[in-house]
Structure 1
Amino acid sequence: GRMDPYVLLQYRSEERKSSVARDQDRSPAWNEIFRFRAQYPGQDNQYKLTLKIMDKDTFTADDFVGETTIYLEDMIAVGAEKGFSELRPRKYNVVLADKTYCGEIQVGITFTRKVSIKLHRTGTFFQ
């Protein structure tokens, strides 16, 4: 049958969900951006981003299509040091629970270090 796929993105305890790619069947294009907070070094060395591809069903539970895991430790380490790093968009294999290949998904990832500067008024200025 036809698919209405969406993606569940999980990084540590955070989860995001893409829109449902309706009427795109087996070649969906999402073109969406998701933001997660990343710490380096992390408490438990968990630096993996899991993408679960799901098929939206109207009347029954959504079906699991497959998943891919992207390991981000090196990218986050560089980003923490330099303030920026990226994994250019590339294809990752999507597999079933038993690791059987069932497709691919293209993902790009950027790490930026958030810097906030707060200015306080100190002293008096004379012209």
Structure 2
Amino acid sequence: MSISGIQGQLLEVTVVECSKLKDTEWISRQDPYVCLEYGSTKFRTRTCTDGGKNPIFQEKFVFTLIEGLRDINVAVWNSNTLTYDDFIGGGKVLLEDVLSRGYDDRFWSLQTKTGRNAGSVKLIMHYANAHAHAHANANTHVSRSVPSITPSAPPYPPSPQPEVPMYSAPPAASMPHTNPTPAYPPPPSASYPPPATASPSPCAAYPPPGAAYPPPPTAYPPTSPYPYPPNPASYPPYPYPPPPDHSAYPPPTAYPPPPSVYPPPPHVSPYPPPGHYPGGYPPPPY
């Protein structure tokens, strides 16, 4: 069932009670209260003093619905006098059932910040325009499902046309009775000359294969394009002059001997001959 078109409609939410809440007090009983948040709208119940784990509220609030927003945030706190309030648990309240049926009454589970169970809260919700939307949607569905039918006269059938065969045979009466002779006369034999004399043979248009190419050479020419050089004896003598004669130079004896710069060594020794020293050792005995 469609639940569109809720923008600006009213939803009544009654906070009935809480059950098995997490206890945040060590000595005294905790003082719980409930907060509801839908879009930018926020409501808070009164504080249930010494409510402990099962407080009772019985308070009703009215929310203006917003198109596309299908849940309400709920949170339960413990009120403190000297310190900040303690968070007990929270959760989300889905509006699909109440918007489609118009009424919802159930407990919604609560969880701590770490995801543990923190008890539950009971809410009663009422949506008065659910039946009006359902009736409008049903009428729209019926009007769309039954199309309009306009009676009309059946069309005229097409006029039959005679069938014309693809090929028509001539009537039998028009054909004269003749002997069974061939339909076409035989080809004349004398009209055309024999094929042998009518056109020359196609082979005669080309010369014989032997006459088209020259005969192969009987001997191969020399491989080198240049002739071999003749014998060296056939060349003329060298144009250079003959080598010079060594007899033109003077013999080596023509040079004078080198002068003697140093005098010949003297034959007399400049040192006296060694003499017999006295006191020497006697000659060794033989």
TM category, shorter? 0.7 to 0.9
Q: How far apart are residue 49 of structure 1 and its match?
A: 0.8
d(CA) in 2 for partners of 1:75, 1:24: 29
Alignment partner, residue 21 of structure 1: 48
Alignment partner, residue 119 of structure 2: 103
- Larger % of strand: which? 1
Q: Which runs of 5+ in 2 are unaligned?
A: 1-24, 130-286
Matching of residue 47 in structure 1 with residue 70 in structure 2: yes
Task: Determine which structure has more spread, i.e. the larger CA radius of gyration.
Answer: 2
Contact map agreement 1:96 1:102 (CA 8 A) in 2 = yes
Look up the equivalent residue of 2:121 and give its one-letter code. I
Alignment partners' CA distance in 2, 1:63 and 1:23:
14
Which structure is richer in relative contact order (CA contacts within 8 A, separation 6 or more)? 1
The residue type equivalent to 1:34 in the other structure is F
Shift of 1:16: 0.2
Name which of 62, 65, 87 aligns with 1:64.
87
Mapping of 1:26-41 within 5 angstroms?
Answer: 26-39=53-66
Give the match for residue 87 of structure 1. Answer: 104
What is the deviation of 1:99?
Answer: 2.0
User: Take 1:108 and 1:86, find their aligned partners in 2: how far apart are those partners?
Assistant: 8
Deviations along 1:97-121, one digit per CA (max 9) or x if unpaired, are: 23211111111111124xxxxxxxx
Q: Whose helix proportion is higher, 1 or 2?
A: 2
The one of 17, 37, 43 equivalent to 1:10 is: 37
1:36-85: CA deviations, max 9, x gaps? Answer: 1113xx1xx22111110000010111111101211113432x36xxxxx0
Counterpart for residue 282 of structure 2:
none
| Counterpart residue type for residue 72 of structure 2 | L
TM-score by length of 2: 0.34
Tell me the SS of whatever aligns to 2:127. strand
User: What letter corresponds to residue 19 of structure 1 in structure 2?
Assistant: R
> 2:110, 2:118 within 8 Å by CA — same for their partners in 1?
yes
Once the 2 structures are TM-superposed, how far is the Cα of residue 26 of structure 1 from its aligned partner? 1.3
Is the CA contact 1:9–1:49 (under 8 Å) kept in the aligned structure 2? yes
Q: Deviations over 1:11-33 (max 9, x none)?
A: 11100000000022111000111
Identity across matched positions, percent: 24
The alignment partner of 2:98 has SS state of helix
Counterpart secondary structure, 1:22: coil
CA distance in 1, matches of 2:113, 2:96: 23
Instruction: Give 1:108's aligned amino acid.
Output: I
Q: What is the distance in 2 between the residues matched to 1:3 and 1:28?
A: 10
- Stretches (4+) displaced over 4 A: none
